Chains A and B, each alone.
Chain A
Amino acid sequence: MQERRWLLEGVERPDADALDVYRRNGGYDGAWRAFDEIDPAAVIDEVEAAGLRGHGGAWRPVAARWRAAGALGGVRALLVDVSESESGRFRDRKLAERLPHRLIEGALIAAHALTADDVYLCVRADWRRARSVLGHAMDEARAAGWIDRALGRSGHAVRLHLHPVPGPLPARGTDQLLPHLIECSRPEPRASNGTNDLPTLFGAPVLVHTAATLAFLPAILARGSGAFRELGSADFPGTVAISVSGHIRRPGLFEVEIGSGSFGELIDTLAGGVVDETDLLAVFPGGAPALDGDALKSLQIDPGVWSQPGGGEHEGSFGCGTIVVADDAVTPLDLAARWLDHAAQLGCGQCPVCREGSVWLIQHLQRLREGGVTAIDPSALQERLEILAHGEGEGLAICGHPTVAAHVTQGLLQIAPEHVDSQASAGATPIDDDAPLRTADSIHLRF
């Protein structure tokens, strides 16, 4: 297995964030073609031919969304999610810090193709460096005239804004979440009303994309859709950038061809294997149940093998392919408790099933850790997790945040039931206090 860089091309180049370095290496060639050589409709054709899908986790075909938006009368603004909001993922932050112009170029191409008037780059405020780098890159791009060449609906230049997002958002439902976040300043997704209506910002229709999705556009336009299509699987062409962290020798961001190997290979070859070569378990913060080492080895890096979005056999969601690895110094129960607590704090609190369900579960996992299985009703625990997991599908939740929380927890509890009792009888040893400081051998693409 080897890296194939499209999204991260040039990420290690010195001063990769500077406009002249980016431009010298083919940056803004895609924008040039999109603005000056072909019309917006042809840009959409090119994206369709490439088969690009959204890298935010839902993997919807990008061109199809653009066409659907056009059929509904078009959009006024494009909202770009540069907030990551998933524990363990660091792809978009890296992109914003190292390759801000690729992100800006992609956003401008999309805005031009959609004839959107405004682009809001919604960047996490606590990533100070990412914000200043992006802000500087926007100034550079503006001075060089790139922003003025992207034209919105009115024929005027697209307006590019940086909208700071002060903290992480709920893990799912970004489409309805980001516009609402700007409107009411609270991290609350709006409920779907079952129609295909576009999300709105102050009443105007908008489209929401994840940063990484748009950052593929410059290369697709510059190198042509064919080269992109050649990579990956038939349904999921191209590459994917996987964030690998945790107890791993060489944590980092690895961009690989979709379907070119398994997570086991990725961890053992590119990421250098598990620290101390002990047993491992893996957490997929994107919403798939956690796995133990054996199950992980054969699992392909391909959204198609997951039930979400590919309809495959593996339960849960491929998400963005983010993976957090833990060795056997950590017990799954501790991890589950921590995970749920984390998820509860990041929820918006609107739907009772998520708000109250997580309160109940946290309390019962705590009882389990302290008193063992006799302290709780295990079937009730499983039932509440099931309810949480099916929240969105059964109409009890407006977004997939509880599903993600439940899937990860369910997997962790399944991995090692024997841990549950032995740990409880030995008295709780929460990871909070006793875990020692650990160190990776090296870091792939250091922050």
Chain B
Amino acid sequence: MLTFTIRRLVLSIPTLLLISLVIFLLLELAPGDPTAAQPLTIPPEVRERLREALGLGEPLHVRFVKWIVQFFWVEPQVLIDHVFGTTFSEGKQRLISWQTRSPIMDIVVQRMPQTLWVVGLSYVVGVLIALPIGILSAYRQYSIFDQIGTFVSMLGFSVPTFFTGVLLIVIFSVHLGWFPSIYDTTLVVNSWDNFLAQLRQMVMPVFVLALFNAAQISRFMRASMLDNLNQDYVRTARAKGLSERVVVLVHVLRNSMMPVVTVIALGVPQVFGGAIITEQVFKVNGIGQLLITAIQANDLPMVQTLTFIFAVLIVLFNLIADVLYGVLDPRIRYD
């Protein structure tokens, strides 16, 4: 198991390098010029100097290697310095955003908590809703509950988050006025009132994403439970007189959870992608919104870094899902 994990970890390095190269080359085709916003009266040689100052004067491969070094070598050093108060990164060039002229990672760190709160919470809520629904609809297959559950999950799966989000805003913000339609990130939670306000503004985005996630996971949970409910060991467990509760919630559930857990792990990075849209709907200034503004502002280093962070998340969670599957299912041996 350990050798498998290490092998996969080592293998993910070339994958990530290749992905970063793909993203880099794609962005290389960008027509925009970062000095286009400067006045036309600037002499060409000054413009050239400006471009060099942004790190654009050099050939392709040099810039790519520089980006790799900055991302994988300098930025971790900054992190270490920040945590331990050391000075490894002193005087080294960090990844700089063209938009704000400040280090990209600092902005990402600023934006991360909002995304993690909204997206993370919604994923947890989604999973918590999905599991009981999936279990119950499989156990009572073709019952009314199953029919409704399957329909609702199909609905949640089909209705795009940008419509559910807007619909909720129409109903709960415009008509009823219960929840604010805009997520206020400047809110500091230090009292009971603030906490309630924070809760109120989180309800809608969390619900939208949770519904979408729950729909997918409950479908998997139901299918996986159905696969297991007809197995021989279930009959055996019933035959030896175990209570129905123990049969379903211990024997069947444990076996059906194996594929579902990996699906849950695989879904985490997709949630960050989906959050791009939900953040836009509710004006949460998280990572997704940062990406959209960076794309609109032609801020290539920012786009490159953010897209690559998403890629890292995907590769990482694929790895976690594979390892988890091996850990949970003793029939699978990777060695």
* Chains A and B form a bound pair: no
